[in-house]
Amino acid sequence: MNPSILQLEHYAFLSVEVRCNPVAEFDRIPQGYSIEDVKFTLKQIERDEDEDGDTTIIQLRVQSNPESKDKEGSLSNFYEIDVEAIAYISFSDSAPERYKSVKETADKIKVINGANILYGVVRDRVDSITSSMLWGRVILPLATFDKVEKTVDTSESDN
């Protein structure tokens, strides 16, 4: 095993909402959900120039997809899920300079890999919360973010 070139400095949940539909009309509790049942929004939050330039902040929002509600066995028939989380990702000391030297490449590496890490954290939280709910545990489908284009949030923060 090799050490990762990335470091998860911190993560936090911005919001966690899980609502159960108590009147879902299905004979069985579904065992798995497809990626079409989930909606993702991924943002890279730009930081001020004077802050640490090595750390990238990503924000991931994971929702049950309301557009799949008409599909039998769809996640949206049983639960309304809306979770937002944020992560601070940087390169570890062992990361080769070639990954850090071009900002666009460095950001892409941190955003894609950071999103995968953060999605695992979100999956775990949703699993934990739903395990004691009416329709049972939701294990969100696996996903990778290598083809997701980042959205840069350039809005002014309220801080």
Task: Tell me the per-residue pLDDT of 54-75, one tens digit each, with 9 for 90 and over.
Answer: 899 999 999 999 888 778 778 8
Report pLDDT for 87. Answer: 96
User: Predicted confidence band at 152 (pLDDT cuts at 50, 70, 90)?
Assistant: low
Q: What is the mean pLDDT of the chain?
A: 85
Following CA atoms 26, 32, 35, 41 in sequence, which dihedral angle do they give, to the nearest 10 degrees?
Answer: 90
Check whether 22 has a pLDDT greater than 90: no
| 58 within some domain | yes
Give per-residue pLDDT as tens, 68-105. Answer: 877 877 888 889 999 999 999 999 988 888 888 888 88
pTM recorded for the entire structure: 0.84
| 44 within some domain | yes
CA distances to 59, 64, 119 from 74, rounded to whole Å, are: 25, 9, 20
Tell the burial category of 45 from Cβ atoms under 10 Å away from its Cβ (0-12, 13-18, 19+): middle
Q: Which domain holds residue 88?
A: 6-150
> Which uninterrupted H or E stretch holds 98?
helix 97-100
Check whether 141 has a pLDDT greater than 80: yes
| 159 within some domain | no
Q: Which of 104, 142, 105 is nearest to 123 (CA)?
A: 142
| 139 within some domain | yes
User: Residue 114 in contact with residue 87, Cβ under 8 Å?
Assistant: yes
Report pLDDT for 156. Answer: 47
User: Predicted confidence band at 146 (pLDDT cuts at 50, 70, 90)?
Assistant: confident
| 112 within some domain | yes
Task: Count other Cβ atoms within 10 Å, centred on residue 48.
Answer: 7
Angstrom distance (rounded) from CA 89 to CA 9: 6
Angstrom distance (rounded) from CA 62 to CA 139: 13
Provide the residue type at 67 as one letter. E
Angstrom distance (rounded) from CA 156 to CA 8: 24
Q: Which residue has the higher pLDDT, 146 or 116?
A: 116
- What CATH number did the domain enclosing 142 receive? 3.10.420.10
> Count of domains in the chain?
1
Report pLDDT for 154. Answer: 45
| 155 within some domain | no
Angstrom distance (rounded) from CA 22 to CA 140: 20
| 158 within some domain | no
Percentage of the chain surpassing pLDDT 70?
Answer: 83
| 156 within some domain | no
Q: Which of 134, 113, 148, 123 is nearest to 7 (CA)?
A: 113
Check whether 118 has a pLDDT greater than 70: yes
